[in-house]
Structure 1
Amino acid sequence: MKTVSDRDVTDLAAEAAELNNHLVSQLEQAGRITSATIAAAFRATPRHLFVQDVELSEAYKDDYHPTDRDGDGRLLSSVSAPWLVAQMLEYLRPQPGNAVLEIGSGGYNAALLHQLVGDAGAVTSIDIDPVVTERAHRCLRSAGLEDSVRIITGDGAHGVPDAAPYDRIEVTVQAAAIEQTWLDQLAPNGVLVVPLRVRGLGRLVALTPDGLGHYSGGGWLPCGFVAMRGEAASSTQMHALTPGARVRVDGTQQLDIEALTKALGTTGTPCWSGVEVGTSEGTRPVIDLWFATVLDAYGTLLADPRTSALRALPGGTPLTWNVDSTTAAYVTMRPVLGHSDRYEYGVILHGEDASLAEALVESLREWDRDHRGRPGPVLHVYDHGTDPATMAPGRALERPGAPMVLTWPKD
């Protein structure tokens, strides 16, 4: 005869399986999961064992779960939202027998990786925070996988050389650069997936090597992750401007905050491009990347419409400025008359240098003419010491780590 406790455990497992199946079905319907093997890995991995301090139904919601914050409330670690975990695994596509390195621990993703590579494979996970690795140990133990995943406390910027090379390397914290150590530890036919800060923009990229000290790829899914700590910490900075407005820039950007604030406090002049788009095209993230590539002075303007007069787009919009920051211009949109689902891109100019707005408008037209509807940019990464003359033409991303160039092919 089953005890009450036995029945509770059985009922819990059955309810969890039902919730998990529903979650996987949602992810499949949304196109987040397209691989049958990844769907099977999700169904075989009870998420509530890795999100243990919430109601069972909460553990199977398609949302991230914070696990630690610092004294100021800043997020230090979390269990990522299932849709994002799924998308990363779709980019990574680990195979049975693969050796995988996960940089940034938590337990749930490592458990999924184990399901995908099987007992013939190997999963190593590293995190700089001992609180995180202890939690990962505890969660994996509850799932019966303590001996199936190797958990290490250390700086993921260095990788884990003693188990290299890896067929797959997955970085599950937001990185400011591609570390040379990751490239060194990647197998010749491997895949590296990284949530990368590209001039302040968070984008998910997948890279593969060509065997000549060159790696390339893309993907460009907008994403947010807890920032990497340690030697590879991000240099992205946020500056307050006019009331209700801020600008996010890479630490390498030179700007006069006082002059820029004064410029944005003047009356803005709209300049329209004639470039119209439909809401279903999803051009906003592409336009952000386009301007991050073509503009020397680049930042993301964020403005609260309740307190700011600036017409920045929701979620942030490309911003540029002249050498002395006395003139600024940013991208905006307006509805196309007579259409509820079409908008026109334009630019708002603040200051006297009209050439700044003219250049942005012409750049919008160039994107429309040469790149709209075509494959997006390609990220090229090179081993340290590569001759710059041999690198692809494009935007060199100034940061530590391996040299990177962002290009927009026309073909």
Structure 2
Amino acid sequence: MKTVSDRSVTELAAEAGELNHQLIHALEQAGRITTPEIAAAFRATPRHLFVPDVELSEAYKDDYQPTDRDGDGRLLSSVSAPWLVAQMLEYLRPQPGNSVLEIGSGGYNAALLHQLVGDAGAVTSIDIDPAVTSRARRCLRAAGLEDAVRIVTGDGAHGVPDAAPYDRIEVTVQAAAIEQAWLDQLDPKGVLVVPLRVRGLGRLVALTPNGEGHYSGGGWLPCGFVAMRGEAASSTRMHALTPGARVRVDGTQPLDPEALAKALDTTGTPRWSGVEVGSSEGTRPVIDLWFATVLDTYGTLLTDPKESALRALPGGTPLTWTTDSTAAAYVTMRPVEEKSDRYEYGVILHGDDQALAETLVESLREWDRDHRGRPGPVLHVYDEGTDPATMALGRSLERPGAPMVLTWPKS
């Protein structure tokens, strides 16, 4: 098998150009690239130079490429999938002449940012791992962009204050919080794009200043990134329960894994809501966010259907439990009879707390009545020290750093 480094310059130029063209066309067809300037940046940036150790066709696949793992095989760094890189740039919309801070250095995205802001702009990229920044420099040098991007080794939670303010800040690692340093370093007319952990859910959000000390926005594209390290490391925990079942919990919610496992080992009782959805509506990510907002006790139940009889939804489903963890309820779905493309949301209760199941069923109906088909939630972020009485009414997210509130407007 020939890797990128095995091929001649002429071979690479011709084949890489065609592969890149096919990739960009696919991203445009899928609606991931909608801006001509972003398409042009992709055309001007040979992706294979940033993943030189894989086969050329792999370099242009619409998938992430791992670049480093720890001794246990856990991913430490990667070059993100092109669809996600493109989507983040669409959220960010950098303009010629902008000053941009990238938190998390892979090299490829920084090169795209340089193409978008031009020589009149400035791109600064920071990463906590010296191996990552060293690799980014090598790849940028191979692309002839060594002097076009400033690479800094340090904890991205602090930003890079000496080049602030930034017109755009793009975080390319999974963040557990919005850091006050990012807000302090963002221009009053700027944009901050962050793949954020919201009660354990990975979602891409775009924030803009909305008055002094207040930032708001949304987006909510489901996404997965390598987690931040250092001071801003995630507080998400994973607990094994019954065979083939785990629960992912964020923050310091009360949870007794042993008692919860015993509860889930009992026979579950279904309760159906009457809320029907189409298979192509894409309601699952919205429902997850809805329950992450309305439930005081919230986690994501993940199961392996080969090992577990629990009727959790693929990819994880909202789960809640009593204070003592002796009863639990989770969201599920069933096909609607005689309607091949329709499904009904419901709840499975384990234990004797009927009110627990009723709360979830009524919440499903409330979402259906008041929020279905509407824009979705808004994330409000405030400077540290803001009086809570002046904040929006909604779910206050348990986080260090800048206070965050999640709301669901009805119109």
Normalising by structure 2, report the TM-score.
0.98
Q: How many angstroms apart in 2 are the aligned matches of 1:8 and 1:402?
A: 51
Per-residue CA shift, 1:76-130, capped at 9, x if unaligned?
0000000000000000000000000000001000000000000000000000000
Question: What is aligned with 2:188?
Answer: 188
Per-residue CA shift, 1:142-183, capped at 9, x if unaligned?
000000000000000000000000000000000000000000
Question: What is aligned with 2:138?
Answer: 138
Letter aligned with residue 109 of structure 1: N
Q: How many angstroms apart in 1 are the aligned matches of 2:339 and 2:51?
A: 45
Per-residue CA shift, 1:172-203, capped at 9, x if unaligned?
00000000000000000000000000000000
Q: Shift of residue 251 of structure 1?
A: 2.8
Q: Shift of residue 11 of structure 1?
A: 2.5
Question: What is aligned with 2:266?
Answer: 266
Q: Shift of residue 273 of structure 1?
A: 0.2
Q: 1:194-233 to 2 correspondence within 5 Å?
A: 194-233=194-233
Q: Shift of residue 12 of structure 1?
A: 1.4
Q: How many angstroms apart in 1 are the aligned matches of 2:265 and 2:58?
A: 44
Q: How many angstroms apart in 2 are the aligned matches of 1:8 and 1:204?
A: 39
Describe the SS at the equivalent of 1:305. Answer: coil
Q: Shift of residue 323 of structure 1?
A: 1.3
Which 5+ residue runs of structure 2 have no aligned equivalent?
A: none
Question: What is aligned with 2:80?
Answer: 80
Q: How many angstroms apart in 1 are the aligned matches of 2:263 and 2:56?
A: 51
Describe the SS at the equivalent of 2:187. Answer: strand
Per-residue CA shift, 1:286-319, capped at 9, x if unaligned?
0000000000000000011000010000000000
Question: What is aligned with 1:27?
Answer: 27
Describe the SS at the equivalent of 1:340. Answer: strand
Q: Shift of residue 258 of structure 1?
A: 1.1
Q: Shift of residue 322 of structure 1?
A: 1.0
Normalising by structure 1, report the TM-score.
0.98
Question: What is aligned with 1:357?
Answer: 357
Question: What is aligned with 1:327?
Answer: 327
Question: What is aligned with 1:100?
Answer: 100
Cα RMSD for the two superposed structures? 0.9
Letter aligned with residue 168 of structure 1: R
Per-residue CA shift, 1:42-91, capped at 9, x if unaligned?
01000000010011111000000000000000000000000000000000
Question: What is aligned with 2:375?
Answer: 375
Question: What is aligned with 2:392?
Answer: 392
Q: How many angstroms apart in 1 are the aligned matches of 2:223 and 2:8?
A: 38
Q: How many angstroms apart in 1 are the aligned matches of 2:162 and 2:37?
A: 29
Q: How many angstroms apart in 2 are the aligned matches of 1:233 and 1:389?
A: 29
Q: How many angstroms apart in 1 are the aligned matches of 2:64 and 2:281?
A: 26
Question: What is aligned with 1:68?
Answer: 68
Q: How many angstroms apart in 1 are the aligned matches of 2:210 and 2:389?
A: 18
Question: What is aligned with 2:283?
Answer: 283
Contact 2:297-2:321 within 8 A present in 1 as well: yes
Question: What is aligned with 1:155?
Answer: 155
Question: What is aligned with 2:11?
Answer: 11
Q: How many angstroms apart in 1 are the aligned matches of 2:306 and 2:223?
A: 25
Letter aligned with residue 73 of structure 1: G
Q: Shift of residue 132 of structure 1?
A: 0.2
Letter aligned with residue 160 of structure 1: V
Q: Shift of residue 10 of structure 1?
A: 1.8
Poorly superposed stretches of 4+, deviation over 6 Å: none
Letter aligned with residue 353 of structure 2: D
Q: How many angstroms apart in 2 are the aligned matches of 1:11 and 1:69?
A: 31
Letter aligned with residue 291 of structure 1: F
Question: What is aligned with 1:166?
Answer: 166
Question: What is aligned with 2:293?
Answer: 293
Question: What is aligned with 1:55?
Answer: 55
Q: Tell me whether 1:253 sits opposite 2:280 in the alignment.
A: no
Q: Shift of residue 254 of structure 1?
A: 1.3
Question: What is aligned with 1:341?
Answer: 341
Bigger shift: residues 352-361 or 248-257: 248-257
Contact 2:251-2:398 within 8 A present in 1 as well: no
Per-residue CA shift, 1:258-278, capped at 9, x if unaligned?
111110000000000000000
Letter aligned with residue 106 of structure 2: G
Question: What is aligned with 2:312?
Answer: 312
Describe the SS at the equivalent of 2:191. Answer: strand
Per-residue CA shift, 1:16-59, capped at 9, x if unaligned?
01100000000000000000000000010000000100111110
Matched pairs, number = 406
Letter aligned with residue 282 of structure 1: G
